[in-house]
Amino acid sequence: MKNSEIRELSDKELKDKIEDEKAHLVRLKLNHAVSPLDNPNKLRESRRLVARLNTELRKRELSENQE
């Protein structure tokens, strides 16, 4: 998911997406612990996506407080 796509999401969609991605990351970690993933870079991609979503959410919160 690109940053431009993330910016287009509403606050509720953003929060829902964060929860979904966190759950996906947990499943990936468990699957990787049981048997190695074909592409372990998926863990990094998922972790970074959660970080980008959290960053956008925080940026919106700070912009609301400044107004």
Predicted TM-score of the model (pTM): 0.90
Sole residue written with tokens 């990094």 = 44
Q: What letters, b where the CB count within 10 A reaches 16 and e where it falls short, cover 4-32? A: eebeebeeeebeebbeebbeebeebeeee
Q: Which parts of the chain have pLDDT scores under 50?
A: none
The CATH fold assigned to 3-66 is Helix Hairpins (1.10.287)
Domain chopping of the chain, boundaries: 3-66
**In the structure encoding, which two tokens stand for residue 28, read together?**
């990936």
